[in-house]
Amino acid sequence: MAFTKYVYTPTDGFKNTSSFPNPTTGAVNRAQRQALHDQTRDAVHDLIDEMAAVTDGDSGGDNIGMTPIPALGSASTSQSQMEAMVALFSFPWATTASLTYYVDVASGSDSNNGLTVGTPFKTIGKAISLLPPRIDHTVVINVAVGDYSGEGVLTVSGYTGKGSITINGDTVVSTSYSILRLNKNRNGIPVTLRGFNFTTSTNVSVVANQCITSIVNLCNFVVSNSNQAISSVGSTLTVSNSTISNHSVAIDADTSTVYSNTNSGTGNTIGLRSSSASTIGKNGTQPGATTAEVQQTGGVIR
């Protein structure tokens, strides 16, 4: 296989200067472009053939005396590299339509496709793992009743786009749709969690870190915990219609904008804490605490 080296110059463009003199007419110009295209195509095809021969372990005449292709390494390595490339370009990078997954810890299987009530996943994590990083449509994960605490911390991280992600559990403040805890991290789209009972006693239940429009609705945080129930750092967060009890801080805002709307609960040490220039706007009832509100380091609650 022979490669032709092309040279780009501002005056002559991208071409082999020895093979392609300056065009004198439009027809010559088009012919040169076609020739350039054909040569490029043939070169790429030759390269693919050679890579296939090497990765297939072909020991026939094609490979005799052939200079090894640099950086390809052994046939097995090349094969794995090519498979990795295929996998890379096969994984969807963005949603192309709205998407709904179903999860049921009792009857589901992570070998299912998760696309119908009858073929649910077993874990919420499986559904999350299939989401592409760019969400341009509405994504809903419908979770059936059950205890999902065994999955450990759930992470919704790094999603961007024009769409949204909603994880639906119960339709009331839940005691029977249980998860351990949730981390939302650096999401540029709305991520809603609705109708879950949090079971952790040793960590923050919900962390929203650098997230846009994070929503917690109809959630239950009543397991005694010396940490915050909900911690927002550098995020915009809405917490509504939820019950928060027995935590050191029910809703904690740091460099955030938080809306606490009609939440309840008892036995917290601090109800709302606004720090580092955060704003917590409140409406309706708020989680009960021995100290209802703390404003510090430029934070306000209003």
Q: Which of 108, 195, 265, 271 binds other proteins (CB under 8 A)?
A: 271
* CB 232, min distance to other proteins, A: 18
| Interaction of residue 270 with other proteins, rule CB under 8 A | yes
Residue 247 phi, psi dihedral angles, 5° rounding: -115, 160
Instruction: Show contacts with other proteins in window 236-265 (CB under 8 A).
Output: 248
Specify the DSSP class assigned to residue 270: E
Contacts of 80 (CB under 8 A, 6+ apart): none
Q: Which of 10, 90, 290, 302 binds other proteins (CB under 8 A)?
A: 290
Q: Which residue number, 5 or 302, has a Cβ lying nearer to other proteins?
A: 302
| Interaction of residue 291 with other proteins, rule CB under 8 A | yes
Q: Which of 239, 242, 176 is nearest to 208 (CA)?
A: 239
User: Considering only 128-136, 149-157, 160-168, 288-296, which stretch makes contact with other proteins by CB under 8 A?
Assistant: 288-296
Q: Which residue number, 136 or 293, has a Cβ lying nearer to other proteins?
A: 293
* CB 181, min distance to other proteins, A: 22
**Helix or strand or coil: residue 60?**
coil
| Interaction of residue 295 with other proteins, rule CB under 8 A | yes
Q: Which of 261, 269, 276, 279 binds other proteins (CB under 8 A)?
A: 269
* CB 191, min distance to other proteins, A: 30
**Helix or strand or coil: residue 10?**
coil
Instruction: Show contacts with other proteins in window 112-131 (CB under 8 A).
Output: none
Contacts of 217 (CB under 8 A, 6+ apart): 192, 193, 194, 195, 238, 239, 240, 241, 242
* CB 249, min distance to other proteins, A: 9
* CB 296, min distance to other proteins, A: 4
How many residues bind other proteins (CB under 8 A)? The answer is 14
* CB 270, min distance to other proteins, A: 7
Beta bridge partners of 251: 230, 272
User: Considering only 9-17, 146-154, 157-165, 293-301, which stretch makes contact with other proteins by CB under 8 A?
Assistant: 293-301
* CB 160, min distance to other proteins, A: 36
| Interaction of residue 195 with other proteins, rule CB under 8 A | no
159-193 as b/e: b if 16+ CB within 10 A: bebebbbbbbbbeebbeebbbbbbbbbbbbbbbbb
Taking CA atoms, 130 is separated from 10, 140, 184, 241, in Å, by 46, 12, 16, 30
CA distance 53 to 50: 5
Specify the DSSP class assigned to residue 151: G
Specify the DSSP class assigned to residue 173: S
Residues that bind other proteins (CB under 8 A): 248, 269-271, 289-297, 301
